[in-house]
Amino acid sequence: MDVIVVKDYESLSTQACRMVSGQVQSKANSVLGLATGGTPEGMYQALIEEYAAGNLSFQETRTFNLDEYIGLPTDHSLSYHSYMYKQLFNHIDIPPENIHLPDGNASDLQAECKKYEAFIHEAGGIDLQILGLGHNGHIGFNEPETSFASRTHIIELDNETREANARFFEQKEDVPKRAITMGIETILSARKVLVLVSSADKAEAVKDMVCREITSAFPATVLQKHPAVTVLVDEKAALRLP
Ligand code: F6R
């Protein structure tokens, strides 16, 4: 794991944008794995600015999001579909057919998981996967004790995850209880992985991800096995690192 510590959230966003831009500039038809949540918002904004400045085009880029809630209408303001269009896709030149998110309203959710894996495979696999980190070590929505061999699957969200995400909803009860997520094996199959973590409340989780023995009790530790992981953290999130 290559751990890079930068000063603050702004530097983290700029540096992450540089890495994603570099990927797209060196391979126009890159396949990007994308995350939602609070952490990558600054990176998406910086990518929009690079695009607006004429330094970057997403015409040939394909994207696959990590996850989507089950049962939330696609056009609900808090669906990950809505998040992605608002944070990035509405502001860049990516063709809609190149965008992929799991369908959390599919009538056959198991078939949807299989289809999603098949699409990733047909696209040639993910070149660069962006990840955030949950306090409990989740990556995507792979909660503690998820099998390391998992592919795209349905997951019950942990209480802690629903509490963390309640900040976006009016009340915790509104946070969906289930999601479709890429599996841990899906994530590990990406050629490169970039993990973004900001703020002091994630410092303990960052230490565990980097230093703890590999254990399904803290899924992010599995990234220690991947040959090309960059962990980009700001100073606050790096506080507990040795
Ligand atoms: C989002 C995702 C989650 C988040 C994680 C951190 O698509 O899969 O694993 O990356 O929960 O979220 P934030 O960035 O909001 O702290």
Reported as a single tens digit per residue, the pLDDT across 228-242 is: 999 999 999 999 999
Per-residue confidence at 191, pLDDT binned at 50, 70, 90? very high
| Percent of the chain topping pLDDT 90 | 99
Q: ipTM score of the complex? A: 0.99
Is there a catalytic annotation at residue 98? no
CA geometry: angle at 222 spanning 218 and 227, to 5°?
155
- Residue 2 is a catalytic residue: no
111-134 average pLDDT score: 98
Reply yes or no on whether 127 is catalytic: no
Expressed in angstroms and rounded, the spacing between residue 37 Cα and the centre of ligand 1 is: 5
Per-residue H/E/C for the chain: CEEEEECCHHHHHHHHHHHHHHHHHHCCCCEEEECCCCCCHHHHHHHHHHHHCCCCCCCCCEEEECEEECCCCCCCCCCHHHHHHHHCHHHCCCCHHHEECCCCCCCCHHHHHHHHHHHHHHCCCCCEEEECCCCCCCECCECCCCCCCCCCEEEECCHHHHHHHHHHCCCHHHCCCEEEECCHHHHHCCCEEEEEECCHHHHHHHHHHHHCCCCCCCHHHHHHHCCCEEEEEECCCCCCCC
Tens digits of residue pLDDT in 30-60: 999 999 999 999 999 999 999 999 999 999 9
Task: Judge contact between 112 and 78, C-beta under 8 A.
Answer: no
**Residue-level pLDDT at 73:** 95
pLDDT of residue 70: 98
Q: Identify the bridge partners of residue 177 per DSSP, sorted by sequence position.
A: none
Whole-number average pLDDT of the chain:
97
Nearest to 116 by CA among 90, 150, 92, 139: 150
Active site residue 75: no
- Nearest-atom number in ligand 1 for the CA of 138 is 9
Is residue 117 very low, low, confident or very high in pLDDT (cuts 50, 70, 90)?
Answer: very high
164 alpha carbon to ligand 1 midpoint, in Å?
9
Task: Spell out the domains of the chain, with CATH numbers in brackets.
Answer: 12-183+194-223 (3.40.50.1360)
Whole-number pLDDT of residue 128 = 98
The residue whose CA is least distant from atom 1 of ligand 1 is 36
Note the pLDDT of residue 166: 92
Q: Of 68, 81, 98, 136, which residue is the catalytic one?
A: 136
Give the tens place of pLDDT for each residue, 60-82.
999 999 999 999 999 999 999 99
For residue 179, what pLDDT is reported?
98
For helices 80-87 and 41-52, what crossing angle results, to 10°? 40
pLDDT of 181 reads 98
Average pLDDT (17-27) is: 98
Confidence of residue 176 (pLDDT cuts 50, 70, 90): very high
Atom of ligand 1 nearest to the CA of 181: 8
Q: Which atom of ligand 1 is nearest to the CA of 67?
A: 7
Which of the residues 112, 138, 142, 234 is marked catalytic? 138
The model's pTM: 0.98
pLDDT digits (tens, 9 = 90+) for 131-164: 999 999 999 999 999 999 999 999 999 999 999 9
The length of the chain, given as a count of residues: 242
Q: How far is the CA of 28 from the centre of ligand 1 (A)?
A: 26
Percent of the residues in the chain that have a pLDDT greater than 70, as a whole number: 100
Query: 125: CA distance to ligand 1 center in Å?
Result: 21
